[in-house]
Amino acid sequence: MGSDAAGYSNWVNEEFSEIQFSDKRLKSRFFKMANQLSKKSEAPINQACEDWADTKAAYRFFNNEKVSAAQIISEHYKRTVCCPQFCVT
């Protein structure tokens, strides 16, 4: 894995470290997919994923009743909201 790939992986792992899904397999799939998508953020899912199996898995993930956009956005939001101890006013 190159330094850029490691950087993306570190960002995904840190950004979403607290994300919770009802099934641990969903969390594992999320991290794999998020790492793939972050490496090619401008590409559509089918081009960002490494192969057809990963593409199909990504679409299944997003269609899963146990996964919501709110769960994912919530974790990202927590990391981007300005915390009083870190804000400079």
Write down the domain spans for the chain.
3-80
For residues 59-76, average pLDDT: 92
For residues 43-69, average pLDDT: 94
Residue 36 near residue 50 (C-beta atoms within 8 A): yes
Model confidence pLDDT, tens digit, residues 3-36: 565 666 788 888 888 899 999 999 999 999 999 9
Model confidence pLDDT, tens digit, residues 40-51: 989 999 999 989
For residues 46-64, average pLDDT: 94
Q: 3-80 adopts what CATH topology?
A: Serum Albumin; Chain A, Domain 1 (1.10.246)
Residue 54 near residue 32 (C-beta atoms within 8 A): yes
Q: Residue 86 — very low, low, confident or very high, per pLDDT cuts 50/70/90?
A: low
